[in-house]
Amino acid sequence: MGVTKGDGAILKKRVVVTGVGVVSPIGIGKEAFWRSLISGKCGIGQITHFDASSYPCKFAAEVNDFQATDFLTPKSARRISRGTQFAIVSTQKALEDAQLDLSKEDPYQVGLSYGTALGPMDIYEKFGATFYERGLKRVNPFFLGMMNHNAMIGAMADAFDIRGYNTAVSAGCSSGNVALANAYYVVSSGMAEVLVTGGVDTPIYPLTFGLYSASHSMSSLNGHPHKAMCPYDKRRAGFILGEGSGTLILEELEHAQKRKANIYAEILGCGLTNDADDATVFSPEARDMIKAYQIALTQSSLEPADVDYICGHAHSSIVLDKKETTVIKHVFGEHAYRLAVSTIKAMVGHSMAGGTAMQSVAACLALKEGILPPTINYEVPDPECDLDYVPNLPKKRKIQTALVNSFSLGGTNVVIILRNW
């Protein structure tokens, strides 16, 4: 646990980010992802994973250049879901970026906290199709070990011989950053020296896509796919589903310094709340999201004016983009208009846990590089969304403190605050 003072108070250990890795529709690995972000590249296109001609929305942000066997043995790739493949590869990339050799670490001091909103949807759909079309005798028994959320974590632990703290986090779209907040608490309390964290989702399959289509939450803009998502813009009409994963390596500061690690950022604090409202898919009430911001600021010993940049959740929702803006203005007052706020979702789509983890990766890179990724497709201002959204072009700005916020189906709100190292 944490170090104890003479008066019995617990001193938190300091936690830093030392590596990041991504599998995304705009690039695999940190370098490709970052180049695409700052160039405003959009990964949304026509669906190729299945025949979507009968669906009202025909676009998705797919990872089209991913071949599992480029990174995994054919046998290993066959025995895990597509999402698990993404998570393992993004973790491999993050460990390489951190220059962290886990074989030299105490495996019980290394842990996993990884998020997924939906789990291995390809396995569910394959199992269902096989069972109902061909009968029980044709069901692959390996499906049992592949089809739950924790199977993804188990496969990751096996791939990297991680034997310490581990948990699969499912908290809706926020899962990637809820997992990150959980990892921060584990390391800061002294329960582990290293945590692999982040999130992944792969929802682009017929049944899953159909359920989202039925909810009428996806974009109705069926013109050019690159214009289908326009967060904070007055024309916004819903999100486009994406897929991908983002991984961050968290270390206790002394551990990182001892091995002379490259440090992206220090995590100062996190705030988590729930709307506790099941009457609507997303509560219009802003109170609980505001409280998550306030908890994170208090935990970080910061004033609102200390924050320079927000990597926002906005995914082109008519209601939620406005709600997020309203919350920012409430929490930050006049400083809200001096903040830079941008979202990466119009580039990578809405990949739920993967997308929220990518937000945190993007914030770490923005802190390190002194460049803010743009909000693409911001063309028609909305009077109710009137902040500096870094429209269309990246902005060079050396920032010290970045905030990442995510919120999700089920009412989970999470805010994470990062400081430049």
pLDDT in tens, 58-78: 999 999 989 989 998 898 888
Q: What is the pLDDT of residues 324-369, one digit of tens each?
A: 999 999 999 999 999 999 999 999 999 999 999 999 999 999 999 9
Considering only CA atoms, give the Rg of the chain: 20
User: Diameter of the chain by CA atoms?
Assistant: 68
The overall average pLDDT reported for the chain is 92
Asked if residue 56 belongs to a domain, the reply is yes
- State yes or no: pLDDT of 4 exceeds 50: no
CB 24 within 8 A of CB 43: yes
| Overall size of the chain counted in residues | 421
Q: Give the phi and the psi of residue 21 in degrees, each rounded to 5.
A: -150, 150
Pair 254, 273 in one domain: no
Give the pair of three-digit tokens for residue 103: 């074989």
3 or 213, which is more confident?
213
Which domain-ending residue is among 214, 232, 258? 258
CB 209 within 8 A of CB 294: no
Give the up-direction half-sphere exposure of residue 16: CA atoms within 13 A in the CB hemisphere.
Answer: 20
Q: Give the phi and the psi of residue 378 in degrees, each rounded to 5.
A: -90, 100
Least confident piece of the model among 126-130, 173-177, 213-217, 302-306: 126-130
| Total structural domains within the chain | 2
Residues of the chain above pLDDT 90, percent: 76
CB-based contacts of 364, cutoff 8 Å, min separation 6? 17, 20, 248, 264, 265, 418
- State yes or no: pLDDT of 5 exceeds 70: no
- State yes or no: pLDDT of 280 exceeds 70: no
> Token pair 């682009």 is at which residue?
204
Most confident of 121-130, 131-140, 353-362, 408-417: 353-362
Asked if residue 1 belongs to a domain, the reply is no
- State yes or no: pLDDT of 119 exceeds 80: yes
- Known catalytic residues are 173, 313, 350
Task: Please give the Cα distance from 58 to 228 (Å, whole number).
Answer: 10
Q: Give the phi and the psi of residue 251 in degrees, each rounded to 5.
A: -135, 150
Pair 58, 185 in one domain: yes
Task: Please give the Cα distance from 356 to 405 (Å, whole number).
Answer: 8
Supply the pLDDT for residue 11.
56
Pair 334, 315 in one domain: yes
Residue 410 pLDDT grade (very low, low, confident, very high; cuts 50, 70, 90): confident
Q: Where are the beta strands (DSSP E) in 118-165?
A: none
Q: Is 43 helix (H, G, I), strand (E, B) or coil?
A: coil
- State yes or no: pLDDT of 3 exceeds 50: no
Which domain-ending residue is among 231, 258, 285? 258
Pair 150, 290 in one domain: no
Task: Please give the Cα distance from 158 to 362 (Å, whole number).
Answer: 28
Task: Please give the Cα distance from 183 to 194 (Å, whole number).
Answer: 9
Least confident piece of the model among 7-16, 93-102, 186-195, 261-270: 7-16
Task: Please give the Cα distance from 64 to 27 (Å, whole number).
Answer: 10
- With the CA atoms of 206, 170, 219 and 360 taken in that order, what torsion angle do they form, in degrees rounded to the nearest 10? -130
Supply the pLDDT for residue 76.
87
Pair 231, 274 in one domain: no
Supply the pLDDT for residue 279.
53
- What's the CA angle centered on 412, arms 407 and 417, to 5 degrees? 60
Task: Please give the Cα distance from 53 to 336 (Å, whole number).
Answer: 43
- State yes or no: pLDDT of 186 exceeds 50: yes
Give the up-direction half-sphere exposure of residue 164: CA atoms within 13 A in the CB hemisphere.
Answer: 20
CB-based contacts of 244, cutoff 8 Å, min separation 6? 22, 23, 24, 25, 61, 63, 86, 200, 201, 348, 351, 354, 355, 358
Residue 9 CB burial class (10 angstroms; 0-12, 13-18, ≥19): exposed
Pair 163, 286 in one domain: no
Task: Please give the Cα distance from 400 to 283 (Å, whole number).
Answer: 32
Residue 112 pLDDT grade (very low, low, confident, very high; cuts 50, 70, 90): very high
Report, as an integer, the average pLDDT of 248-263.
98
Supply the pLDDT for residue 227.
95
Asked if residue 376 belongs to a domain, the reply is yes
- What's the CA angle centered on 186, arms 16 and 276, to 5 degrees? 110
Pair 274, 246 in one domain: no
Asked if residue 263 belongs to a domain, the reply is no
> Token pair 């902040």 is at which residue?
387
Which domain-ending residue is among 258, 287, 302? 258
Asked if residue 402 belongs to a domain, the reply is yes
Pair 251, 105 in one domain: yes
Alpha carbon 326 to its chain's center: 22
Asked if residue 369 belongs to a domain, the reply is yes
Pair 33, 116 in one domain: yes
Report, as an integer, the average pLDDT of 209-235.
90
Give the pair of three-digit tokens for residue 7: 């008066």
Domain that includes residue 157, residue range: 15-258
CB-based contacts of 398, cutoff 8 Å, min separation 6? 370
- State yes or no: pLDDT of 7 exceeds 70: no
Asked if residue 78 belongs to a domain, the reply is yes
- State yes or no: pLDDT of 137 exceeds 80: no
Asked if residue 5 belongs to a domain, the reply is no
Pair 136, 204 in one domain: yes
Pair 70, 116 in one domain: yes
Pair 196, 278 in one domain: no
Exposure class string for 223-247: b at 16+ Cβ within 10 A, else e: eebbbbbbbbbeebbbbbbbbbbbb
CATH number, domain containing residue 227: 3.40.47.10
The CA–CA distances, whole Å, from 37 to 31, 87, 95, 368 equal 10, 20, 21, 14
- State yes or no: pLDDT of 310 exceeds 90: yes
- State yes or no: pLDDT of 274 exceeds 60: yes
